[in-house]
Amino acid sequence: MDPLLSSATVVAGVTAALHAFVDGPAVVPPLHRGQVETLYSPLALLCAPRGAGGAVGWGDVLAWASSAVLAALAAVHVYWGLGGGWPGDARHEKVEVVVGLPKGSPFPSLSQCLLVAFLLASSAALVLAQRYGRDVLPASALRVGVWAVVLVLGARGVGGFFDARLRPATRALPYDRLNRLVYSPLSLALAAAVAGAALD
């Protein structure tokens, strides 16, 4: 016998016994193979509330993609806080590339890096919770939280293009080019993805 079906039969039997003990005899319909496969498919359970017939839609793709990138950025900030040197190289220190401060300036402390990592990881969890875990927090709180994430990421993205005007010294650093070509566009793309997931 298929072990998956046999375990489902055991679950159905235990459920029937509990109902009989608490509420009196009850009939529990047997689980069909399709129901068992759905029961044991986390992706199907996550995607079932959205889209036609439980199919994965663009909102699901945007939610998972943006959450994955936010989680990866959180991991990078932990790496930096623990002393990781990338993306510094022989010519430029990490602080010149990541923060936009001259060589020899102190890099943000471990606690500061961990705080940013926590906020990024929380944002990743919030995006998924707003789309799938509606029982975790009130829907209104999840909605406000997600739009706060969109606002912060959007502000970071737009503000990055004006950073050189506010801090002219950064123009001589590799941070300035990376800010315009990578950091700000990535922030705007993440803001758009999170907003798209929330609106779908």
Same domain for 8 and 105?
Answer: no
Same domain for 125 and 90?
Answer: yes
Q: Please give the Cα distance from 39 to 166 (Å, whole number).
A: 55
For 140-177, write each residue's pLDDT tens digit: 899 999 999 999 999 999 999 999 999 999 999 999 99
Residue 51: inside a domain: no
Residue 50: inside a domain: no
Question: How many domains does one find in the chain?
Answer: 2
CB atoms closer than 10 angstroms to residue 36: 18
Same domain for 9 and 74?
Answer: no
Query: Taking a C-beta distance cutoff of 8 angstroms, is the pair 173, 100 a contact?
Result: yes
Q: What confidence category does residue 90 fall into, taking pLDDT thresholds of 50, 70 and 90? A: confident
- The parent domain of residue 126 ranges over 57-199
Same domain for 10 and 82?
Answer: no
Same domain for 67 and 35?
Answer: no
For 97-138, write each residue's pLDDT tens digit: 999 999 999 999 999 999 999 999 999 999 999 988 867 788
Residue 23 reports pLDDT greater than 70: no
Residue 52: inside a domain: no
Q: What confidence category does residue 72 fall into, taking pLDDT thresholds of 50, 70 and 90? A: very high
Same domain for 79 and 139?
Answer: yes
Q: Considering only CA atoms, which of 175, 193, 194, 196 is closest in space to residue 184?
A: 175
Percentage, residues of the chain above pLDDT 70: 72
Instruction: List b or e across 78-111, with b for residues whose CB sees 16 or more CB atoms inside 10 angstroms.
Output: bebbeeeeeebeeeebbbbbbbbbeeeeebbeee
Distance between alpha carbon 147 and the CA centroid of its chain, in Å? 14
Residue 102: inside a domain: yes
Report yes or no on whether pTM surpasses 0.85: no
